[in-house]
């Protein structure tokens, strides 16, 4: 139950009945008020109150900025102490007039109408861009060169049947020696993109990449940042590593299949954080 209190109007003194009385009925002298807090204490409390309000406002503003972000803006996930790379601010390319985005209500077939080259993840700060994979069109032979030689003939036949429309690619190398290559393969329908992915994993073990004869599921991959409606398949090279540890990840997004490959020579291997970062951002661009 809530206790009811009676407030005394400002500027008035308490009634005499509330004051303590002496045994003979005379009114006792009022008890003097306690000492007031020093002014410096009051000033400190005021400063901390203002600081708390300011920090609270900043936190609310940041939260609003994140939750109100337009879908055409993709966070660059700037470099942090955990090893993430510093990418430029990303945005989805403009579409032809009247063309819907792949996962909008008006695009049941999940077709990418934007220029495929504009959907490639750009190189981060400090990277040396691969002149062969500069973000333009490449032939299917270049894409197939990522796979083990003895597996290329079979994949060549599969691609001939599926007839991809375009293949775009970009590659770069970071100062620490980590090499990244990204391929986007677009087909005439979602079924063909998924068909290539199913062919790569048909035997129960993924078609190996060059330099990675055996792969295992990437146990560190949490699937975070995935666009609804897309599928991701993330693998690591089985130990013992060869000359370089090779990480690979696929994203099936509508009519397009993306392959992200990272490798680095040396005993330290290929770090997982920038690999997962690249995979998440490429997925976001395809959404």
Nearest alpha carbon to residue 286 among 136, 153, 103: 103
- Please tell me the total count of domains within the chain: 1
pLDDT tops 60 at residue 36? no
Mean pLDDT of the 13-21 span: 41
Confidence grade of residue 17 (pLDDT, cut at 50, 70, 90)? very low
Is residue 31 included in any domain, yes or no?
no
Confidence grade of residue 6 (pLDDT, cut at 50, 70, 90)? very low
- Is the Cβ–Cβ distance between 68 and 261 less than 8 Å? no
Please tell me the least confidently modeled range out of 12-21, 61-70, 129-138, 195-204. 61-70
Our measurement of the distance from residue 18's CA atom to the centroid of its chain's CA atoms, rounded to an integer in Å, reads 66
- Is the Cβ–Cβ distance between 116 and 254 less than 8 Å? no
Q: For the chain, what is the mean pLDDT?
A: 79
Q: In whole angstroms, how far apart are CA 48 and each of 23, 39, 52, 73, 283?
A: 48, 14, 6, 36, 44
Q: Reduced to 3 states, what is the DSSP secondary structure of residue 1?
A: coil
Rounded-to-integer distance, Cα 24 and Cα 32, Å:
22
> ∠ at Cα 91 (89, 94), nearest 5°?
150
Confidence grade of residue 176 (pLDDT, cut at 50, 70, 90)? very high
Confidence grade of residue 11 (pLDDT, cut at 50, 70, 90)? very low
Q: What is the pLDDT of residues 220-252, one digit of tens each?
A: 998 878 889 999 999 999 999 988 999 999 999
149 φ, ψ (degrees, to nearest 5): -60, -40
Is residue 188 included in any domain, yes or no?
yes
Mean pLDDT of the 166-188 span: 97
Mean pLDDT of the 71-94 span: 73
Q: Which residues pair with 212 in a beta bridge?
A: 209
More confident residue, 23 or 184: 184
Q: What is the DSSP letter of 124?
A: P
Contacts of 236 (CB under 8 A, 6+ apart): 215, 216, 217, 218, 219, 245, 247
Is residue 40 included in any domain, yes or no?
no
Mean pLDDT of the 98-112 span: 89
130: containing domain: 80-93+100-286
Is residue 22 included in any domain, yes or no?
no
pLDDT tops 70 at residue 110? yes
Number of residues that make up the chain = 287
Is residue 258 included in any domain, yes or no?
yes
pLDDT tops 80 at residue 151? yes
Confidence grade of residue 103 (pLDDT, cut at 50, 70, 90)? confident
- Is the Cβ–Cβ distance between 257 and 196 less than 8 Å? yes
pLDDT tops 50 at residue 149? yes
- Number of other residues whose CB lies within 10 A of the CB of residue 278: 23
Is residue 169 included in any domain, yes or no?
yes
pLDDT score of 45: 41
Q: What is the pLDDT of residues 21-34, one digit of tens each?
A: 444 444 444 444 55
Mean pLDDT of the 49-73 span: 37
pLDDT tops 60 at residue 218? yes
Is residue 160 included in any domain, yes or no?
yes
pLDDT score of 145: 97
Confidence grade of residue 13 (pLDDT, cut at 50, 70, 90)? very low
More confident residue, 132 or 68: 132
Give the domain CATH number at 184.
3.40.1000
Mean pLDDT of the 83-89 span: 95
Is residue 207 included in any domain, yes or no?
yes
């Amino acid at each position: 139950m809530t206790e009811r209190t009676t407030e005394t109007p400002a500027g008035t003194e308490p009634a005499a009945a509330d004051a303590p009385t002496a045994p003979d009925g005379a009114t006792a002298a009022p008890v003097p008020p306690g000492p007031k807090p020093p002014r410096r204490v009051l000033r400190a409390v005021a400063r901390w109150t203002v600081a708390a309000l300011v920090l609270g406002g900043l936190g609310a503003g940041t939260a609003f900025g994140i939750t109100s972000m337009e879908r055409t803006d993709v966070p660059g996930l700037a470099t942090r102490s955990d090893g993430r790379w510093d990418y430029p601010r990303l945005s989805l390319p403009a579409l032809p007039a009247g063309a819907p985005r792949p996962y909008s209500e008006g695009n049941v077939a999940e077709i990418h109408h934007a220029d495929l080259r504009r959907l490639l993840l750009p190189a981060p700060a400090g990277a040396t861009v691969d002149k062969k994979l500069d973000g333009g069109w490449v032939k299917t032979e270049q894409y197939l060169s990522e796979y083990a030689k003895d597996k290329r003939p079979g994949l060549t036949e599969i691609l001939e049947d599926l007839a991809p429309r375009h293949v775009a690619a970009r590659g770069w190398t970071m100062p620490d020696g980590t090499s990244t290559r990204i391929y986007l393969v677009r087909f005439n329908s979602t079924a063909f993109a998924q068909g290539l992915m199913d062919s790569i994993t048909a035997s129960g073990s993924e078609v190996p990449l060059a330099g990675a004869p055996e792969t295992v599921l990437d146990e560190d991959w949490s699937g975070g940042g995935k666009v609804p409606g897309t599928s991701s398949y993330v693998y690591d090279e089985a130990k013992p590593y060869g000359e370089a540890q090779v990480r690979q990840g696929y994203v099936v997004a509508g009519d397009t299949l993306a392959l992200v490959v990272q490798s680095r020579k040396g005993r330290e291997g290929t770090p997982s954080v920038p690999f997962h970062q690249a995979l998440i951002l490429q997925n976001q661009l395809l959404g």
